[in-house]
Structure 1
Amino acid sequence: MNHSCVNCLKTMLIHLNFLCWLCGAFVVAFGEFQMMHSRFASLITTFWPIYPANTLVVTGTIVTCVCYVGVLGGMKENRCMLISFFVLLFILMLVELAMACVFLVYSREIDTYFERDLMRSLEIYRQSSPEGNKTIKDDFDAVQHLFRCCGVHGVADWKGDIPISCCINNPCNTLTFTNWEEGCLFKLRNWFARNYVSTGAGVVTMFIIQFICLCITISIFCHFKRRGLGYQ
């Protein structure tokens, strides 16, 4: 491999890793924004570790750290950093594939836990005192108002104790008011699906870039190894 070809590959590796680093930083920022403005976390406790915002923050942080090693390794032409970057990136890609397989295989079980968590939150809301469990109450009210729904499967879930957030009219200042009939389970499930679809699309894009980076890294590393270069 001639010198100009090595320089071309090195430049491409640096730019691709820098692009991945920027994407990772944006993902972290977007995840933090979602965490600050999310109104659903207290209702879906089973999925807290894989909540969209948490998934974005963790994934973005790992990607930025790994890509930073790749950028430095390419700029300094350091074999140790390049092979470290290769191993870390390979492990990251395996984890991404494993997570995708888990979501595909256990999608039905995830739906069951999702429904169970919502019903549990609704029962806590119903049985709480006026001043108790304010977080769950506020979040459930926010969900019903935002998605224009009532209860988990429908208005009957409230068993006559219907909160004012189910009201269709705005404002609800009468004693008798009309409620949303559709349950929040279906609408919330679609909202989560859209979040994971957009997250998945970003992960697939980064996965392609990461695969290209792997191919370039191993080529550069092999060239440095044959020439005895890359440790300075």
Structure 2
Amino acid sequence: MAQNCLKCLKYTMCFANFLCFMCGVAVLSFGVYMMVNFRMAALTPTLASFNSANMLLISGIVITCVSFLGFLGALKENRCLLLTFFLLLFFLMLVELTAACLLLMYEGEIAAIVKEDLNKGLEKAKGKNLNSTYVMSEWDVIQEKLDCCGVYNASDWGDKVPDSCCPEGCHTPNAQYRQKGCLVTLQNFFEENFLTTGISVIVLCIIEVLGMCFAMTLFCHISRSGLGYKL
């Protein structure tokens, strides 16, 4: 009976890690797509390395590597791989909890950095050089996607209000500017998704704890039975 339960545990780990591996590949692919088609480096240079595309890319790589390690360790009943899988999950859980705490502690400082970067990006977009053209294209994308205009409102652009500030184009009769600034829109977006993000972190930590428990249970069984790689 115990052997059947442990076999069930082994194949459950294999199946769960295979699903995680496929999810990791999907996240990695989406991160590459976002990096190519949706860049904000010119708007928020200070936070450029922490934008959503890079985060998706890094997350995809980590998920695929760790899940493949867990899948192979369970399938081959390899104690070394299972122990490495356990330690990596434990380390990732600590990193996630630390990052969540830092975001809560330095929320005001992060908001100030984003505000400063947006103001600098807007000043560059008003310039008359090749770099300003690139920055302007990013502003057009952001203003259309987020339905916003300028940092605070359309007056930030002065007499150079771009067409992306108007839903139907600013050169049409009775054109109306988008009411909200991009800074307020970004703040509202993060506030609205704060609860969802917190729940996601908690669920992810629970999954990681379960994975650690399964890996250690299988590791102990292999150790008692004398199977697998000898440490």
Band of TM-score, shorter chain = 0.7 to 0.9
When residues 194 and 58 of structure 1 are mapped into structure 2, their CA distance, relative to the original with a 3 A threshold, is farther
For 1:36 and 1:189, locate their aligned partners in 2 and report how far apart those are by CA, in whole Å: 25
State the one-letter code of the partner of 2:219: F
Q: State the partner residue of 2:215.
A: 217
Residue 38 of structure 1 deviates from its aligned partner by: 1.1
Q: State the partner residue of 1:14.
A: 14
**TM-score normalised by the chain length of structure 2:** 0.86
For 1:206 and 1:22, locate their aligned partners in 2 and report how far apart those are by CA, in whole Å: 16
Residue 81 of structure 1 deviates from its aligned partner by: 1.1
Matched, 1:150 2:149: yes
Alignment of 1:14-93 (within 5 A): 14-93=14-93
Identity, in percent, stands at 39
Question: 2:150·2:181 contact (CA, 8 Å) conserved in 1?
Answer: yes
CA-to-aligned-CA distance 1:67-108 (integer Å, 9 cap, x gap)? 111101101111111111111121112112111111122111
State the one-letter code of the partner of 2:220: C
Matched, 1:120 2:129: no
Q: State the partner residue of 1:179.
A: 177
State the one-letter code of the partner of 1:89: L
Residue 188 of structure 1 deviates from its aligned partner by: 2.9
Question: 2:31·2:56 contact (CA, 8 Å) conserved in 1?
Answer: yes
When residues 222 and 153 of structure 1 are mapped into structure 2, their CA distance, relative to the original with a 3 A threshold, is same
For 2:202 and 2:193, locate their aligned partners in 1 and report how far apart those are by CA, in whole Å: 14
Q: Secondary structure at the match of 2:46?
A: helix
Residue 113 of structure 1 deviates from its aligned partner by: 0.7
**TM-score normalised by the chain length of structure 1:** 0.86
Residue 28 of structure 1 deviates from its aligned partner by: 1.2
Q: State the partner residue of 2:133.
A: 134
Question: 1:43·1:140 contact (CA, 8 Å) conserved in 2?
Answer: yes
Question: 2:165·2:177 contact (CA, 8 Å) conserved in 1?
Answer: yes
For 1:43 and 1:177, locate their aligned partners in 2 and report how far apart those are by CA, in whole Å: 26
Root-mean-square deviation (Å) = 2.6
Q: How many residues align?
A: 230
State the one-letter code of the partner of 2:169: N
When residues 208 and 75 of structure 1 are mapped into structure 2, their CA distance, relative to the original with a 3 A threshold, is same
Q: Secondary structure at the match of 1:103?
A: helix
For 1:28 and 1:211, locate their aligned partners in 2 and report how far apart those are by CA, in whole Å: 23
Task: Specify every segment of 5 or more residues in structure 2 that has no aligned partner in the other structure, as ranges.
Answer: none
For 1:171 and 1:109, locate their aligned partners in 2 and report how far apart those are by CA, in whole Å: 35
